[in-house]
Amino acid sequence: MCRATLRNATPFPFYTGLLPPITPLTRSLPTAIGDARTRRAPPTTTSADLAAMLSARATATAASSPLWKRGEGGSSGSGSGSGCTSCREVRRRAAAVRVRAAAPRRVEAVAMESAAETEKEEVAAVGGGVEDMATEEVPVTPWAFSVASGYTLLRDPHHNKGLAFSEKERDAHYLRGLLPPAVVSQDLQVKKIMHNLRQYSVPLQRYMAMMDLQERNERLFYKLLIDNVEELLPVVYTPTVGEACQKYGSIFRQPQGLYVSLKDKGKVLDVLRNWPERNIQVIVVTDGERILGLGDLGCQGMGIPVGKLSLYTALGGVRPSACLPITIDVGTNNEQLLNDEFYIGLRQRRATGKEYHELMEEFMSAVKQIYGEKVLIQFEDFANHNAFDLLAKYSKSHLVFNDDIQGTASVVLAGLLSSLKVVGGTLAEHTYLFLGAGEAGTGIAELIALEISKQTKAPIEECRKKVWLLDSKGLIVNSRKESLQAFKKPWAHEHEPVTTLLDAVQSIKPTVLIGTSGVGKTFTKEVIEAMASFNERPVIFSLSNPTSHSECTAEEAYNWSQGRAVFASGSPFDPVEYNGKIHVPGQSNNAYIFPGFGLGVVISGAVRVHEDMLLAASETLADQATQENFEKGSIFPPFTNIRKISARIAASVAAKAYELGLATRLPQPRDLEKYAESCMYTPVYRSYR
């Protein structure tokens, strides 16, 4: 037998039957073995299997490559001159094959030992490195087996622990020498990174540092975010994520989600199969047309799904591997991006009509085909004309949820229910005026009307009359009905035309003023003073994001209302002092709702989203605010308790799903809150054997 036979190749006794996450398994890459499309786990590989694979590769190349012809010294392979070129080539190719396996036996280098012995003579013979020559001569297949150890383990974000690897783990997984001698705890790692983050003066720098950490050490990223949620939430999400999306092409390092573009039409299913995970439970998808209040950012809107799903994990406990961020790239109408050399998306005008909807139809069908009907698809930052159509079209056939329409509505309704404990009265006794009649405004209005209908048993049409909306053309009234978009028509009431917000406030005299316009500084001093003139405690919600687009600041709301406003905002504001009293503004952040809502859908196995599930989430969140919060001026509970709040919301949502017959995980757990907590992902480091 020639020397190309792998002398120390052994079976993989520690590969079969591994129980993740105790053994650090890497995610499988497409390989030359088995069906890469179905991502089946690679079978136990024996020395005979490996030798056969190398032999097959040698045979396949012999027909086309002169390197695989034997020398003229005879068939024994031991002649003079060039000798057995095939033997040398097998050894050289074996050295390029990376076979990784589990500790304690170092089978990571099954092919490496014999290759290492001949590497010097091979380098001398060919004048370069083994991998270099393989790349120059023939294409190589990036195949790998998937048990992480050594250098590979340190580059695997799902299992890397940095300096937290114990002495025993360093020996068992061949890390000795690859790390400095110090062994530190995860808590000390968190302390160090927070110290480093606080040195940055630019929020975008903090965002980039956090994204780098997520790509380097997943568990540490989530531990950091959970332990410092109030400080880091504005970093990984609003308002900083808005700037990140605007500059996404410039700061892009490596993909964090899946991109489906018009180029993929007809093969979207194949694109989805390229994602390494199969057990996906939550998808957040955007087409980038209406990113926050920043407009059309095209493919660079990916920052939103990535940020949302990091909160699904940190705040709601959904496993990171069960989350999939997706951007549908159909082009952009943003001329600045189309002319930006760093733009990462399609350089064309945004597709519309049939072309757009055919791609979305293919995408939705592919998601259901590959992940099943119990995967939650969250639509995020679609423009109004598509957001309502997509939600209406797929809500009866898919498990879909629009956070801009339904999530925002749910958290704002919770804030209103909570504010009633401060201002008094029932929901039906108040009058509501919205500045902004897009998906957020109409979504909130509809949920308010639904809750009033639920409480009073009145028809929904009657309850809508308590809610008024004002768009860019003025108050939505009956005389405008023929020219209104379909989603605005239910809010057209009998009233004379009114064009300005101040006139609408003075005419309707609302007790609650809600801004969803996306236009900053529209709640002027005159508007706030008018609200305060006929309300002892005017309720003012300035919800537009990011901070620069907020209708008014917390300081303006408190100062112009003489400290009497019950205020909440979409973006965070610092506490405000007025007449010696500190007011802590509440943040009406969707992160209060969607992580717990998603967890409730997952643990119940719900197959559809029902409006009563949204009402249940709102009522549960409203119950979490305490008298201590109210005394500080906030109508929302602190984010420090968000994991507990999310578990309670999940339990309420799941209970409603069971009640409505939409749940499939049977039998129903006896204590849903404890069950939700038991299902939540915790980012504490695991010990590796």
Active site residues: 237, 308
| Pair of tokens at residue 606 | 């719900």
Q: How far, in Å, CA of 646 to CA of 201, rounded? A: 32
**Distance between CA atoms of residues 647 and 595, nearest Å:** 9
Q: What angle do CA 83, 86, 87 make, to 5 degrees?
A: 75
Q: Do 593 and 407 touch, CB atoms closer than 8 A?
A: yes
For residues 44 and 62, the answer to whether their CB atoms sit within 8 Å is no
Residue from 68, 69, 35, 71 nearest 54 by CA: 68
Distance CA 101, CA 324 (A): 28
Looking up tokens 């917390």 gives: 554
SS3 540: strand
The answer to whether the annotation marks 384 as part of a ligand binding site is no
Q: Which pair of tokens denotes residue 281?
A: 């439970």
**381 in a known ligand binding site:** yes
Of 171, 403, 420, nearest in space to 304 by CA:
403
Do 511 and 539 touch, CB atoms closer than 8 A? yes
Residues 565/538, Cβ–Cβ less than 8 Å? yes
Beta-carbon contacts of 53 under 8 Å, excluding residues fewer than 6 positions away, are 32, 33
Cis peptide before 320 (omega within 30 of 0): no
Distance CA 144, CA 31 (A): 7
Which residue in the block uniquely carries the two structure tokens 């920052």?
Answer: 303
CA distance 63 to 177: 44
The CA–CA distances, whole Å, from 158 to 23, 25, 188 equal 12, 9, 19
CA 398 to chain centre: 19
First CA to last CA across the chain, in angstroms? 37
Question: Would you list the DSSP string of 151-186?
Answer: HHHHT-TTT--GGG--HHHHHHTT-TTTS-S----H
Length of the chain: 689
Q: Could you give the CA distance from residue 263 to residue 35 in angstroms, rounded to a whole number?
A: 24
Residue 404 marked as a ligand binder = yes
Residue 255 per-residue DSSP state: -
Is 35 assigned to a binding site? Answer: no
Rounded Cα distance, 385 and 611, in Å: 21
What is the C-alpha to C-alpha distance for residues 327 and 262, in angstroms, rounded to an integer? Answer: 11
Return the structure tokens found at 512: 């609650």
Write the CB contacts of 605 (distance below 8 Å, at least 6 apart in sequence): 374, 663, 664, 665
What single DSSP character describes residue 685? P
DSSP result, 64-103: T-GGGSPPTT-TTS--STT--HHHHHHHHHHHH-B----T
Do residues 299 and 311 lie in contact, with contact meaning Cβ atoms separated by under 8 Å? Answer: no
CA 243 to chain centre: 17
- Alpha-carbon distance values, 238 to 205, 206, 288, 420, 570 (Å): 15, 13, 16, 27, 9
Dihedral through CA 661, CA 400, CA 28, CA 157, nearest 10? -110
Dihedral sign for Cα atoms in the order 668, 670, 672, 674:
negative
Residue 122 marked as a ligand binder = no
User: Is residue 274 a known part of a binding site?
Assistant: no
> What DSSP element (H or E) covers 326?
strand 323-329
- In the annotated binding site for (S)-malate, the residues are 290, 545, 589
- In the annotated binding site for a divalent metal cation, the residues are 380-381, 404
- In the annotated binding site, the residues are 290, 380-381, 404, 545, 589
